[in-house]
Amino acid sequence: DAGVIQSPRHEVTEMGQEVTLRCKPISGHNSLFWYRQTMMRGLELLIYFNNNVPIDDSGMPEDRFSAKMPNASFSTLKIQPSEPRDSAVYFCASSFITGAPSYEQYFGPGTRLTVT
C-alpha cells in the first residue's frame, strides 16, 4: 500500500503568495485530517473530513486558510495570502472510522512550508 501521499514535500514561497498543499489518502479510508506542526504549538488539527464532507474546521486559523475534498482520493489545503507565521510542517492523515472509540490515523510524510 502506498500510504498517504503529500505534495510537495517542501515549499518555499514569499509572503503574499498563494500556497496549495495536496494530499491523497489511503484508498478505502473515509476520513481525512489536516494538521499543522510547529515547535511552539505542537501538532494541531486544522480540519477534518468524513466521507468528503468537512466535519470540524474549528482549527483553521483564519479565512486565509481553506480546504477542499472534491472526491475520496484527493484533498487540498490552500493558504492565500501566505504569511511568515504560516511556516510549519503540514501533515495530512487518513483513517477508516467505524464508530469504535478509537481508531488509527495514518499520517503522510508532511509538507515543510517556509514563507519568507
Partner 1 sequence: TQLLEQSPQFLSIQEGENLTVYCNSSSVFSSLQWYRQEPGEGPVLLVTVVTGGEVKKLKRLTFQFGDARKDSSLHITAAQTGDTGLYLCAVRRGKLIFGQGTELSVKP
Regarding 110 and contact with partner 1 (CB under 8 A), the answer is yes
Regarding 4 and contact with partner 1 (CB under 8 A), the answer is yes
* Closest to 96 in 3D by CA, of 74, 72, 60: 72
The DSSP annotation for 41-90 comes to: TEEEEEEEEETTEEEE-TT--STTEEEEEEETTEEEEEESS--GGG-EEE
Task: Report the C-alpha gap between 84 and 55 in whole angstroms.
Answer: 28
Nearer to partner 1, 16 or 61 (CB): 61
Q: Which of 34, 49, 65, 91 binds partner 1 (CB under 8 A)?
A: 91
Nearer to partner 1, 81 or 112 (CB): 112
Q: Which of 8, 56, 61, 114 binds partner 1 (CB under 8 A)?
A: 56
Q: Could you give phi then psi for residue 86, rounded to 5 degrees? A: -80, -10
Regarding 50 and contact with partner 1 (CB under 8 A), the answer is no
Chain positions contacting partner 1, by CB under 8 A: 4, 33, 42-43, 45, 48, 56, 91, 93, 101-102, 104-105, 107-110
